[in-house]
């Protein structure tokens, strides 16, 4: 797999939204104003983890095993 075991996210505090619905609204406004959209949008809330039908937990299937978030104060 080309997915790293640990992913480090560097995020400006001013860009963090409390809910996915607010992100959808922001993207909708960008589209209405003909603002160029990002070529790729990923909504990541934490490290990858899933369970199959037998409820066996598997970590790292769809993404990194670990996620590190570095929040930068920009205001």
Q: What are phi and psi of 20, to 5 degrees?
A: -65, -35
Does the model's pTM come out above 0.85? no
Q: What is the mean pLDDT of residues 48-62?
A: 75
Of 72, 36, 35, 66, nearest to 49 by C-alpha is 66
pLDDT digits (tens, 9 = 90+) for 62-71: 778 888 999 9
Whether the CB-CB separation of 65 and 59 falls below 8 Å is answered with yes
pLDDT digits (tens, 9 = 90+) for 24-38: 999 999 999 999 988
Of 68, 64, 69, nearest to 2 by C-alpha is 64
Query: Per-residue pLDDT for 46 more than 70?
Result: no
Whether the CB-CB separation of 52 and 58 falls below 8 Å is answered with yes
What's residue 1's pLDDT? 59
For residue 9 the two structure tokens come to: 């996210």
Whether the CB-CB separation of 64 and 47 falls below 8 Å is answered with yes
């Amino acid at each position: 797999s080309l997915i790293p075991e640990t992913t480090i996210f560097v995020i400006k505090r001013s860009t963090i939204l409390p809910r996915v619905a607010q992100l959808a609204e922001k993207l909708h406004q960008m589209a209405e104003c003909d603002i160029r959209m990002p070529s790729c949008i990923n909504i990541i809330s934490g490290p990858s983890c899933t369970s199959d039908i037998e409820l066996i937990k598997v970590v790292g299937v769809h993404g990194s095993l670990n996620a590190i978030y570095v929040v930068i104060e920009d205001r």
